[in-house]
Amino acid sequence: RKEVEQDPGPFNVPEGATVAFNCTYSNSASQSFFWYRQDCRKEPKLLMSVYSSGNEDGRFTAQLNRASQYISLLIRDSKLSDSATYLCVVKDNDMRFGAGTRLTVKP
């Protein structure tokens, strides 16, 4: 079993749609959680950290359920510029990256 598992995708949605990505992790001792964004042929960049109480940054909302070892990312009112691969990342001693979920937002 992989340490971090994500929806395989790809997700193809129209502009303005709401899309949700899910992620599960296997190490219950994991301490920190993140969503990274990776554009095609670019390096991953931090999108947002994920806190137990849930957190929101504009159109992006991240949720963490430690009991279920589950993380989610919700994107509302999706834009063309949101097209990218979204990586779920879990930190124990080091960062563990999911395989990523590819999102394409179409006009």
- Which residue among 32, 59, 65, 80 contacts another protein (CB under 8 A)? 32
Residues 6+ apart with CB under 8 A from 36: 44, 45, 46, 47, 86, 87, 89, 97
The stretch among 12-20, 52-60, 64-72, 88-96 that binds another protein (CB under 8 A) is 88-96
45 near another protein, rule: CB under 8 A: yes
Taken in order 61, 65, 49, 35, the sign of the CA dihedral is negative
Give the x-and-dash track for 68-87 against another protein (CB under 8 A). Answer: -------------------x
